[in-house]
Amino acid sequence: MGEAEEEEEAVVIEELSPGDSKGDGGQVSAFQRSRDKSKEYSYYHGQTDSKPLPADAVIRQEDPLKRADGLGPKKLETAAEVDLDKVVWVEDFAYSDEGANVKVYVDFPESIKDGAVDCKFDRFSVILIVRLPQGGRMYGLKIKEREGWILEQERSGGFAFEIVPEKSKYRVSSSGQKITVTVAKKDAQESWSELKKKDIRQSI
């Protein structure tokens, strides 16, 4: 038996433009038939004439990819960094356990109503800094655990128990001389007999 050579059937893909027509006479082109039948689902939908942009359209002047350098997220530029050595830290304050929250009451020696307040909560800490306008003083509240702890028995200096940072907040009083910091407990059933956690190694 002789080997029969099979002829491969060639497939031709023909690119059509809106003016092309198939066949003779006034037959409608495949381009137009597809558009008439399938509308926006047509294979050729992307080849339609572009529509003019609205009058209020905003066109980017800069390629946003220029900012992508592959080095990961960048820290946003913020106001001038605080010189912590110039902050007057408030050491005397009161607190109350109010069930799901703990409130810390901080009194200042002068009105801070017009000051800029920065407050950052973490799992066991809060750092609040008030900057008075026109180069005035900076006051602060700092309740923060010591660095480097790993086990719970090594932790000291921060809040007695873990808090929920995203649910915690502060409020400046109408007099402008007091700030109330409301700390949301992670476990609302915990009773805070102390505001800060002590180093248990000091009591051994």
The dihedral sign for the CA sequence 116, 177, 89, 165:
negative
Structure confidence by residue, pLDDT tens digits, 69-100: 555 554 443 445 677 788 999 998 999 999 99
What is the rounded CA–CA span in Å between residue 204 and residue 201?
Answer: 5
- Token pair of 78 as six digits: 């913020």
pLDDT > 90 fraction of the chain, expressed in percent and rounded: 43
Task: Name the band, by pLDDT with cuts 50, 70 and 90, for residue 197.
Answer: confident
The pLDDT, as a whole number, for residue 79 is 42
> Mean pLDDT for the chain?
76
What is the rounded CA–CA span in Å between residue 166 and residue 143?
Answer: 17
pTM for the model stands at: 0.56
Query: 114 pLDDT exceeds 80?
Result: yes
Distances (CA, A) of 67 to 19, 58, 64, 76, 203: 43, 19, 6, 13, 54
The pLDDT, as a whole number, for residue 76 is 41
What is the three-class DSSP state of 27? coil
